[in-house]
A and B are shown apart, each in its own frame.
Chain A
Amino acid sequence: MKILMKIGSFLSLALTIVPSILFFVGDLELSQMKWYMGIGMVLWFVTAPFWINKPSKSEQL
């Protein structure tokens, strides 16, 4: 399960940064880019809390 969450999180980070690069090179419209970034945000919200902080809990300051 944790692996799936991690994969989802990395996918969400890709959805956050890659659309901006595609917009920069002219392969994506601004409105499409905003949509992909929005989806990436939601995906991060629902996946990252399940694994970030967990393994390194004792290491948190």
Chain B
Amino acid sequence: MSNSFFKKVVGETNEYERTPIPNESLKGGNSFLGMYAGEHTAGTEFVIGPLFVAHGVSAGDLIFGLLIGNLLAVLSWGLITGPIAASKRLTLYYQLERIAGKNVVRWYNLVNSLMFCFLAGSMIAVSATAVGIPFDLEMPTLSDWLPRTPGWILTVLLMGGVITLVAIQGYSQVSKFANVMSPWMILVFFAAAIVGLAQLGVGSFESLLSIAQEVIWNGVPLAGMSKFTIWHIIFFAWFCNMAMHIGMSDLTILRYAKSWTYGFHSFAGVFLGHFVAWIASGILYSVFLQADSASQEFAPGAIAYETLGIAGAICVVIAGWTTANPTIYRAGLALQAIFPKVSTWKITAIVGGITSLAACFPALVMKLLDFVALYGLLLMPMGAVIFADFYFSKKMGFQSEAALNSKSDFSIPALLSWVLTLVFCLGLNLFYGVEIFFLGLPGWFVAIAIFIVLSKIKYPLAKSLSQ
């Protein structure tokens, strides 16, 4: 827990924080293939696949929805994030600061860090469903919002404490550990699908089709769950990483790319993690439901243990841990940008505490689909602002990177684009009943339109030049 160690870690992460990446530091395509494959085979995959089953999606809707949605996600990374990252070669935060100003970025960081805390919390809860197996812990159910037993709270808090301590010790070791575990975890997902299909009685291609359609994804939602259609699957697969592609978080990663086309390398992640892994975890859950169709229990760890033994349970723990740990660390960094005088380890400890408390509530797991959609939606408008600034500032006649060029810490157009877009999306949800999964697309266009109009008023190009 020495300060020198933290300085070293933070120093590494802050490399080129406020300067473009120099040519000699650019990375080849294989780095991005590996990074995306590892990043998107995570603890969340053990929850999302089963929730699709619980929401009664049909087999055809799932397969075609995932193919289309994942393709749209790859195109978003490749055509929207990649070109801007390769052109500017700046982090999301610095790019945003140049456009929106320091004070707006502070609010962005606060929202970002809170979302990171909740995401990490859900992963701690997922890991707890595996850690609790030897202690015969009563597992949460689909309708649970509050913790069921003191044992659950104790397990989650202990896990949260350990994960926070490791996060305080540093980021790079856990990141390396996640890289090491990634190939094995991907194969465990493949194995889960194969074993699950065997347990469901699949013996031929014909039986695979009939069991997939009639048993696994039979189109009937579980009690208390809403019905999902192909549109839900397309939009969820497309926008579950909305913060990363059209929300531009991955500018920070893709700025290292030798070619603008490396955004397309995200296909390795989405088609392994968001196709194979979601299907595999859905099959696992279906095996569990076959044993007890009336069960409302939702415990990925216990389900994986039943089918794959200790390897399945450990895989859930590692997947949850390797997702939660860097997420806590990133949340700490985002929060530290707001409170730069507080040391990193103290900030990480506070973030870990918030995360552990959040993890006590199973609602974070049971409502993970909604939470992931909300997380992307909250951050997306700032990505739209970066997109509009990059492509439309000259064409539409307003000043690009207005905060930097006008030496301002606060850009009204950027802030209002963010807030008004979210108000618009909230209105669509409250007054027209549009589900959260579908709000990102209209919201993106609205954010761009608001930013262009307000920038033309506040920072017109002619006026700026005359000044």
> Which residues of chain A have a CB within 8 Å of any CB of chain B?
12-13, 16-17, 19-21, 23-24, 30-31, 33-35, 37-38, 40-41, 44, 48-49, 52-53, 56, 59-61
Q: Is the CB of B191 within 8 A of A17?
A: yes
Q: Once the chains are docked, how many angstroms separate the CA of A33 from the CA of B191?
A: 10
Q: Is the CB of B191 within 8 A of A37?
A: yes
A58 to chain B, nearest CB (A): 9
From A40, which residue of chain B is reached at the shortest CB distance? B311
B227 interfacial by beta-carbon distance below 8 Å: no
Given contacts A16-B311, A34-B309, contact A61 B35 (CB under 8 A): yes
Q: Is the CB of B191 within 8 A of A16?
A: yes
B322 to chain A, nearest CB (A): 13
Query: Would you call the interface of chain A mostly helix, strand, loop, or mixed?
Result: helix
Query: Would you call the interface of chain B mostly helix, strand, loop, or mixed?
Result: helix
A-B contact pairs, 7 of them (CB 8 A): A16-B184, A37-B310, A37-B311, A49-B180, A56-B31, A59-B30, A60-B179
- B170-199 vs A: 1/0 string, CB under 8 Å? 000001110111011001101110110111
Q: Which 4 A-B residue pairings sit nearest by Cβ, starting from the closest?
A: A34-B309, A20-B191, A37-B311, A20-B194
Apart from A44-B184, A60-B31: 15 A-B pairs, beta carbons within 8 A: A13-B183, A17-B194, A20-B190, A20-B192, A20-B194, A20-B198, A37-B191, A37-B311, A41-B310, A48-B183, A48-B184, A52-B179, A52-B183, A59-B27, A61-B27
List, in ascending order, chain A residues with CB within 8 A of B315's CB: 41
B382 to chain A, nearest CB (A): 22
Q: Once the chains are docked, how many angstroms separate the CA of A23 from the CA of B200?
A: 12
Q: Which of A34, A41, A48 contacts B180 (CB 8 A)?
A: A48
Q: Once the chains are docked, how many angstroms separate the CA of A34 from the CA of B191?
A: 11
Q: Is the CB of B179 within 8 A of A33?
A: no
Q: How many residues of B contact A (CB 8 A)?
A: 34
List, in ascending order, chain A residues with CB within 8 A of B256's CB: 61
Q: Once the chains are docked, how many angstroms separate the CA of A41 from the CA of B197?
A: 22
Q: Is the CB of B310 within 8 A of A33?
A: no
List, in ascending order, chain B residues with CB within 8 A of A33's CB: 195, 309
List, in ascending order, chain A residues with CB within 8 A of B183's CB: 13, 48, 52
List, in ascending order, chain B residues with CB within 8 A of A21's CB: 194
Q: Is the CB of A34 within 8 A of B190?
A: no
Q: Is the CB of A23 within 8 A of B28?
A: no
Q: Once the chains are docked, how many angstroms separate the CA of A33 from the CA of B194?
A: 12
Q: Is the CB of A24 within 8 A of B311?
A: no
B308 interfacial by beta-carbon distance below 8 Å: yes
B147 to chain A, nearest CB (A): 30
B133 interfacial by beta-carbon distance below 8 Å: no
Q: Is the CB of A37 within 8 A of B180?
A: no
Q: Once the chains are docked, how many angstroms separate the CA of A35 from the CA of B27?
A: 40
Q: Which of A12, A24, A38, A41 contacts B198 (CB 8 A)?
A: A24
From B309, which residue of chain A is reached at the shortest CB distance? A34
From A19, which residue of chain B is reached at the shortest CB distance? B191
Q: Once the chains are docked, how many angstroms separate the CA of A23 from the CA of B309?
A: 14
From A38, which residue of chain B is reached at the shortest CB distance? B310
